[in-house]
Amino acid sequence: MLLLGKNIIEAFKKEHSTSRKALDRWMKLIENSNFATPQEIKKLFGPNVDFVGGQTIFDAGGNKVKTITKIRYGLKTVLVTHVLTHKEYDQNKWKD
């Protein structure tokens, strides 16, 4: 998959250095995958992925980091729109 929005991930990693390994691992998994359906994502990520209102939410780092994406299966593209701590995610501002 083509991963767009790496700048958002990099900015988050600078602020939250403890998330670096988990996000690097997540990026590698995404870039080395070729998802055609949400079911294929669920098969790989299991309970660490949710689908909310047209967005795909990934848990990383033991559910400490939420990566919010929009996926275009036909274009094989994953667009990162937000990377948040679990606390920031729970405030639901990302839904606006």
Which pLDDT tens digit goes with each residue over 35-61?
A: 999 999 999 999 999 999 899 999 998
Taking all residues of the chain, what is their mean pLDDT, rounded to a whole number?
A: 94
Q: What is the CA radius of gyration of the chain?
A: 12
CATH of the domain at 41: 3.30.2310.20
Whether the CB-CB separation of 26 and 67 falls below 8 Å is answered with: yes
Q: Is residue 96 in a domain? A: no
Q: What is the total count of domains within the chain?
A: 1
Residue 82: which domain range? Answer: 2-91
- The answer to whether the predicted template modeling score (pTM) of the entire model surpasses 0.95 is no
Q: Is the pLDDT of residue 13 over 80?
A: yes
Residue 30 has pLDDT above 70, yes or no: yes
